[in-house]
Amino acid sequence: MMSAESPKNPNVRELESLRIKRTAEPKPPSRLIPIAIGAGVLLVLAAGGYAVYQRTLGRPPEVQTAIVAVRDAGQAGTVLTGSGYVITQHKYIVVGTKILGQIVAEPIEEGQHVKVGDILARIDDRDYQAQLKQAYADRDLANANVTLKQERAKRLRELYRNGVASKDSLDDAENQLAVAQAELKRADGSIDYAKFNVSQTLITSPINGVVLKKYREVGDTINYGGDIQAGGGTTDIAQLADTEDMRCEVDINENDIAKVVMGAPATVIPDAYPDQQFAASVVKIYPEADRQKGTVKVEVRILKPDLSIIKPEMSAKVVFLSSVAHKAEAPMVLVPKKALVTEGNSNSVWIVRGGEVHSSPVVLGREYQDGIEVKSGLSGGEMVIIAPSSDLHDGSPVTPASS
């Protein structure tokens, strides 16, 4: 018999090696984990919903706001703006000649600046110089004839007093002297006319200006019935613009013309150079309105034009400024017109402080294009509501937004 300590039977060991070992059954999952996850999701949704509520339904109404401006003392405020064109005082000057001939010199180009007396063109003057010489010769002949007639008339007067010559002979001598003297005057007139023709062969600039157009070129012949170039007349040489008095012409709506006064300051801003501003003043308000357009033409003079920038016919904006001076101790406060609340004869604005609105009465002054002057009630820098709604009241919470 085999003892208990003896090794197991080999067959038994093989059977044990073939036995399938059962693992321990898993424990059921805890219910706390889903509950925790669900609670976390609910918290996230609640926080997001609260944030959305704060930005939508729970947020105070949004209002458009603006900051009350303060303008320096004495600084002119804008009362009106308009668009127009650069012109000159005399509009445009066409320079020409009164004689005929061939152009032998024309030392100008379009866009060139010229001064008084500068040569614009020269016409062949040989014919006119010859006519001048002939006029001088005719005068010398007439002068000699007058001397002869004077001596003859003098002798006949002496003979007539001595009873030698007849009265008819004296009258004939006096008449011949008068005719000779008239011919001398005509000769002097011919000289003046010939000198004028010679002067017309040299065309010079009568103004300080700029050449806008050339109607002729060297070699062209000026004659009546000839070709008219670029809109010029038969004897026109060039078109000039007077740069001594540069202006800007603008059409103002007749409803606003009362805001424009003679001598009022203005600013001219060329459309091609929006960063350039030129001081100007109102020098002309036309006496007649344009019925079709309902406008009145106004001219402002540019005080110190930069001729490298300012050119005739350029489009420009004109800003008309107030001529009313303001005291240094009371700077001008401007409030947007849409911020005003008018009830009867009183005016007020809604001011935003700390997210709440408060009504403030104001006393108004002059109206400008960029706002209305506030004489009392605001000191500048306040945040006011633009186009306030009628349901506002003191202490209402609002969300300001810049306009």
CATH number of the domain at 213, please: 2.40.50.100
Beta bridge partners of 170: none
Tell me, yes or no, whether 99 and 229 share the same domain. yes
Residue with tokens 């820098």: 381
Task: For residue 136, give every residue at least 6 positions away whose Cβ sits within 8 Å of its Cβ, in sequence order, or none.
Answer: 191
- The answer to whether residues 85 and 218 belong to one domain is no
CATH of the domain at 285: 2.40.30.170
Nearest Cα neighbor of 198 from 108, 101, 271 is 101
Residue 20 lies inside a defined structural domain of this protein:
no
What six digits make up the tokens of 374?
Answer: 């506030």
What is the tally of structural domains in the chain? 4
**Nearest residue to 355 via CA among 57, 67, 63:** 63
Same domain, residue pair 114 and 210: yes
Of 268, 290, 321, the domain-final residue: 321
pLDDT in tens, 299-328: 999 988 888 888 888 999 999 987 655 444
Question: Are 334 and 306 spatial neighbours (Cβ–Cβ below 8 Å)?
Answer: no
For the chain, the maximum distance between any two Cα atoms, rounded to a whole number of angstroms, is 220
Same domain, 281 and 386: no
Q: What gap in Å lies between CA 45 and CA 42, rounded to an integer?
A: 5
Which tokens belong to 345?
């004869």
Q: How far is CA 383 from CA 68, 78, 124, 330, in A?
A: 6, 22, 77, 20
Same-domain status, 222 and 336:
no
Q: Which domain holds residue 268?
A: 78-89+245-321
Last residue of a domain, one of 200, 230, 253: 200
215 part of a folded domain: yes
Give per-residue pLDDT as tens, 324-351: 554 444 577 888 888 888 888 889 998 9
Domain identity same for 295 and 158:
no
What's the CATH number where 141 sits? 1.10.287
* Domain containing residue 347: CATH number: 2.40.420.20
Q: Is 368 helix (H, G, I), strand (E, B) or coil?
A: strand
Residue 22 lies in a domain: no
Residue 17 lies in a domain: no
Residue 28 falls within a domain, yes or no? no
218 and 116 in one domain? yes
Asked if residue 220 and residue 338 are part of one domain, the reply reads no
Give the global pTM: 0.51
CA distance linking residue 284 with residue 161, whole number of Å: 74
Structure tokens at 236: 């026109």
Is 97 in the same domain as 218? yes
Directed axis angle between helix 126-161 and helix 167-200, to 10°?
160
**In a shared domain, residues 283 and 231:** no
Say if residue 118 is in the same domain as residue 208: yes
Query: Which of 200, 230, 255 corresponds to the end of one domain?
Result: 200
Nearest to 122 by CA among 92, 101, 144: 101
Position 28 scores a pLDDT of 55
Cβ neighbours around 170 below 10 Å, total: 18
Q: Is residue 18 packed enough to be buried (19+ CB in 10 Å), middle (13-18) or exposed (0-12)?
A: exposed
CA gyration radius for the chain? 50
Give me the pLDDT at residue 280, please: 92
User: Does residue 161 belong to any structural domain of this protein?
Assistant: yes
C-alpha span between 169 and 156 (Å, rounded): 7
Tell me if 268 is assigned to some domain: yes
Question: Is residue 208 situated within a structural domain?
Answer: yes
pLDDT less than 70: residues of the chain? 1-34, 36, 38-41, 44-59, 72-77, 224-233, 323-330, 369, 402-403
Task: For residues 234 and 115, state if they share a domain.
Answer: yes
Neighbours of 212 (CB within 10 A): 18
- Of 140, 139, 123, the closest CA to residue 191 belongs to 139
Cβ atoms 385, 341 nearer than 8 A: no
